[in-house]
Amino acid sequence: MTEQQQQQLNARAEVLKALAHPTRLWLVEQLQQQERCVCDLTDGVNADISTVSKHLSVLKNVGIVSKRRDGKQIFYRLETPCLNSLFGCIEKVISNNVQAQVAMMG
């Protein structure tokens, strides 16, 4: 493996690590629909604003989301709508695993 390949794989791993939390996955799903205020996201995930902000910061640091300020409110938007395809692929893996388990039992 070349150094360039290693760097690319490390970058991919960082993005996947950022997504590897149920709350962050939920946040990404919400932002696929539209830009959202942190306050709305906080209500939806039933967590305090500090916790949600930390999760959003992880996503922002790897370029998945961006933010803008409007007065006192901070809005986040998804920068990578292609994640929907990744989520679809993950759902297919889950479905295949369930089918394989059912087949083994039957």
- What CATH number has the domain bearing residue 68? 1.10.10.10
Domain-embedded: residue 29 = yes
Domain-embedded: residue 93 = no
Domain-embedded: residue 72 = yes
Q: Which residues, in sequence order, are bridge partners of residue 67?
A: 76
Pair 24, 59: CB distance under 8 Å? yes
Cβ neighbour number for residue 30 with a 10 Å cutoff: 16
Residue type, 6: Q
Domain-embedded: residue 56 = yes
Domain-embedded: residue 43 = yes
Domain-embedded: residue 60 = yes
Distance in angstroms (rounded) separating the CA atoms of residues 16 and 13: 5
Pair 87, 24: CB distance under 8 Å? no
Give the pLDDT score at 71: 94
Give the pLDDT score at 44: 85
Instruction: List the domain range (segments joined by +) for residue 25.
Output: 3-79
For residue 1, the surrounding DSSP H or E stretch is none
Per-residue pLDDT, averaged over 33-61, amounts to 93
> How many domains is the chain built from?
1
Residue % of the chain over a pLDDT of 70: 100
Give the pLDDT score at 74: 95
Q: Is the dihedral of CA 18, 24, 29, 33 positive or negative?
A: negative
Higher pLDDT, 8 or 100: 8
Mention every residue, 6+ apart, whose C-beta is less than 8 A from residue 60.
66, 67, 76
Give the pLDDT score at 104: 87
Give the pLDDT score at 84: 87
Q: Which residue has the tokens 């799903």?
A: 29
Question: Of 21-25, 40-44, 96-100, which has the strongest mean pLDDT?
Answer: 21-25
